Structure 1
């Protein structure tokens, strides 16, 4: 079972004067909601987690949903022999999450884990599970953030994001 989660950082708080209702795409994706995120296989206890504190978690969730879409670009879907590849590039560093789909399975590796542990085993999950969990993560994160930040639920970018990636 795949689990995707996050924590917000107290070291990098959002500016107190932020108007969440009118914040633009760049601000929402890169300047707010810093923390850490993880992907974990709950059955094997294999986890890929950031521990930097500065990761924009909304951008992470948004980019993850985009990547899942890229992995499904082949019209043959799970019958495609692949591999289909995509990368999530953390713009604040040189680190990347790499995704490789073959048939209905996706291997996820993290540059920072591979460097630390030599060549570590990828986190492997079913493509359908990754798609569902990525979208659930995005919607759960948005629900948490809109509860914490007045006006965010009224932001047109948030509406568009929820419509673009509905829960599966």
Structure 2
């Protein structure tokens, strides 16, 4: 079972003058909604998480959906033994989350994990479903907190690009 979550930072609040209805993609992805994120395997009781307070959580959800699709680039899908790699770069640091898919499984590691710590091993289909659910739930939460965000055309396009599975 996969669990994705976030917490917003009190140290890095959004600028009070922000018009969420007209914010552009760059602003939505890099300048707003800072906090921390985690990706957990609840069966193994293990997670990969940040603890920096400045990770743009909408960008993380957006990038994770992009990565899951990128990992599905081999037309053989679950039958492919050839590994497919992807990485999620964190904008304000050199840290990365690394993803490798082989067959129907995705191994997730991070630069800040201990060298002897094994990767999280997640089912690709479940990761796709959970990433998209996380994105939609996050947008709903942020829309409840910030007037106008639900009316932003970039948010509409994002939801259309990654519908719930």
TM-score normalised to structure 2 length: 0.99
The question of 1:62 aligning with 2:62 is answered yes
Q: Write the deviation string for residues 75-127 of structure 1: whole angstroms up to 9, x where unpaired.
A: 111111120000001111000000000100000001111xxx23210000100
- State the partner residue of 2:46: 46
The number of residue pairs the alignment matches comes to: 165
CA RMSD of aligned residues (A): 0.6
Aligned-partner Cα distance in 1 for 2:82–2:134: 26
The list of structure 1 runs, each at least 4 consecutive aligned residues, that deviate by more than 3 angstroms after superposition, is: none
Give, in angstroms, the shift of residue 43 of structure 1.
1.0
Query: What secondary structure does 1:88 align onto?
Result: strand
TM alignment of 1:5-154, pairs within 5 A: 5-113=5-113, 117-154=114-151
TM-score normalised to structure 1 length: 0.97
Give unpaired runs (5+ residues) of structure 1.
none
Aligned-partner Cα distance in 1 for 2:91–2:11: 19
Give unpaired runs (5+ residues) of structure 2.
none
